[in-house]
A and B are shown apart, each in its own frame.
Chain A
């Protein structure tokens, strides 16, 4: 009797521990979807119907950065294609943004259910390393529109040195938004350098009236801003490659974190936070940054073009202005050129037709239309000619930046390293520890240096 009681007890205990309990919304959108990815043999949502060649074909496209407005634009473009190719049907799957990447990963692991997937700068390495997306070089070679691609677009297509894994649909380029009315009040000029931002910030910051200078990003992805400050201090010359900008040129894996200019830049970054930003910006993410600017708490904000719409909606036109990215002591303004695009799965049943649609989606007309609706920088240099939107108005500023590539440069953290996934989850915490005086500047720089030196040793040179 006793033994049976104990066994029952133990089994109950294990079952109780195993079940997650009433309300842990096991949607836990964003994370736990991933946990079922490997364990379950989940069926794909729709499968590309394989019929005899020349017969009806279905191409499935899966989005990642889903939004209802964007899906409508994609549908329009797909319908145009379907009209020209009556035997092809395009199916667009739009999972909710929070767990779309996890869903795509699931489909890719199952090797079924998708022909085109949205590939982001943060996922391209994962997909390519696992052989989930196909090399598109042969299709690009025969593409008549490849001549008008911008330099940035070319760089992204060949982001990974061993193949052309995606064609970008646009770039998320950051600019500097600032409260022109507050600046005029204080008699300040348009900020052009990081030092200008700091000085203006000091002049404007007044905690008693809840006014601060700068919308600081201390929360998720805050490290990206610290990086731009470093690069603007040291300039492009010393970087090994724009896409692997943590490493030094000819350094065999030596990192930028040992340079004295970077230490200076880091001190500047901390001073900026301590003296011109609200205290709780240590935890600010995208929405809080934008809310801080639009809501009248901060005077300056560095963000993507999608903020233009929010500012136009919530503020008067004469209250804010959008100007180019700030320069550093090196004379250059360096920022990451975030991108996303379309990739073809390696297991698609109809590579020719899929590649054809992919290139159709990426041609100058469709891409410019898409970029305009979605507020990204288009990939063809003819965009400004095709649409006034890109040559006038607020958005024109981005095209201007593109015309001065010596000053306005792009650099990015080395996302092609597998170690980047771990880095991304630990780095923001380390910066927060530094900003709250828990660790010293040397500690932080040492951690960064060791992390990337180790990654280089483990994975080699990947650019």
Chain B
């Protein structure tokens, strides 16, 4: 009687120790910092005076939503919606189109694929600096080309005008994010069985019908996941804005995450943390609603 239960105990202990790292690592490296960081949101945590840290409840959040001249938070939130919405749509459409082109392997397609992937491999900051000089009002390449094409008569200060600063950053972001969609969707498209298309040809389906009724449903789960990931990643991607405009001019190109970076530099960790908490709440809610609404978990392959 003793033998089997001792064996079972040893086995259970073995399993426990094997699983332990998988439990400990997320707790130490993800959840503990998240909780500690979130706690800062409710404190007056300012690095200028670490002896003066105390609990202040929701004051940081109230500061964020206060209505005064120097508070840009509402503009920032609206900018974030524009940033994510426009970047995502453009990246998706262009990426999808390129994926359709790459669907069939042609001569040089692997080289072409490598070249398309190039923007994704470079750091966001460097890309930001590159685009910043391209958009430069006096010596930038973009003004030069547009003037030579007679589309504008005078150089435009792209990053200097409140009307165009954010959209210039969005343009750079679109260029940056296309490769990811292209690669993911190409891989998914290549996984669609040719038999389905042949059967559709037999029934006399047009290309558009084939696209809507075969292609899209088959890669639906990849599309949904890619879009969700990209929404979250674009939301969390302040690198371009930081290096192109630092959120200027006059705070017109700030998004929530670049604003948070600025707050960290001003050493007000409490306020920065409050912004961070709002980000996480929003993204978690968004992800939950998205997955439920698209019935992602019910998708059949």
Contacts and interface: CB of A to CB of B under 8 A. Distances in A.
Interface string A6-46: 00011011111110111111001111101111111000000
A5 interface: yes
Nearest to B121: A23
Contacts of B279: 17
Interface stretch (B16-24, B204-212, B248-256): B248-256
Interface stretch (B47-55, B83-91, B187-195, B214-222): B47-55
B77 interface: no
B233 A22 contact: yes
A13 B284 contact: yes
A39 B228 contact: no
Given A34-B47, A35-B37, A129-B49, A220 B246 contact: yes
Contacts of B158: 280
Interface in A392-449: 418, 421-422, 424-426, 428-430, 432-433, 436, 438-439, 443, 447
B262 to A, nearest CB: 5
B247 to A, nearest CB: 8
B47 A126 contact: yes
A15 B26 CA distance: 10
Interface in A43-99: none
Contacts of A418: 46, 48-49
B48 A126 contact: yes
B236 A210 contact: no
B228 A16 contact: yes
B3 interface: no
Interface residues of A, number: 67
Contact of B284 (A14, A37, A40, A125): A14
Given A218-B249, A283-B160, A422-B268, A15 B30 contact: yes
A110 to B, nearest CB: 12
Nearest to B247: A429
A447 B30 CA distance: 40
Interface string A268-286: 0000000000111111000
A433 B75 CA distance: 14
Given A9-B297, A34-B265, A283-B249, A21 B124 contact: no
A33 to B, nearest CB: 9
Contact of B137 (A38, A40, A279): A279
Nearest to B265: A31
Name the interface size band of chain B: 35 or more
A24 B242 CA distance: 12
A130 interface: yes
Contacts of A163: none
A363 interface: no
A341 interface: no
A429 B228 CA distance: 33
Interface in B244-278: 245-251, 261-269, 272
Contact of B269 (A28, A38, A297): A38
A125 B261 CA distance: 22
A425 B266 contact: yes
B58 interface: no
Contacts, number: 194
B70 A126 contact: no
B288 A278 contact: no
Contacts of B229: 16, 21
Candidate in B138, B236, B288 with the most chain A CB atoms within 10 angstroms: B138
B48 A280 contact: no
A225 B35 CA distance: 42
Given A9-B297, A16-B287, A28-B261, A105 B47 contact: yes
A130 B69 CA distance: 31
Contacts of B267: 34, 126, 421
Candidate in A15, A39, A105 with the most chain B CB atoms within 10 angstroms: A39
A291 B30 CA distance: 43
A201 interface: no
A17 to B, nearest CB: 4
Given A16-B287, A17-B284, A425-B263, A436 B162 contact: yes
Contacts of A35: 37, 264, 269, 272
Contact of A130 (B30, B49, B247): B49
Interface string B97-120: 000000000000000000000001
A39 B124 contact: no
Nearest to B248: A283
A-B pairs with lowest CB-CB distance, top 10: A280-B137, A21-B233, A280-B160, A280-B157, A17-B283, A13-B287, A425-B266, A432-B250, A31-B261, A418-B48
15 contacts: A10-B288, A12-B291, A13-B285, A16-B228, A22-B120, A31-B264, A36-B33, A210-B138, A218-B249, A219-B248, A278-B138, A283-B249, A421-B266, A436-B249, A447-B70
Interface of A: 5, 9-10, 12-18, 20-25, 28-32, 34-40, 105, 109, 125-126, 129-131, 207, 210, 218-220, 278-283, 288, 291-292, 295, 297, 418, 421-422, 424-426, 428-430, 432-433, 436, 438-439, 443, 447
Interface of B: 30, 33-34, 36-37, 40, 45-51, 69-70, 72, 120, 123-125, 136-139, 154-155, 157-162, 165, 180, 228-229, 232-233, 236-239, 242, 245-251, 261-269, 272, 279-280, 283-285, 287-288, 291-292, 297
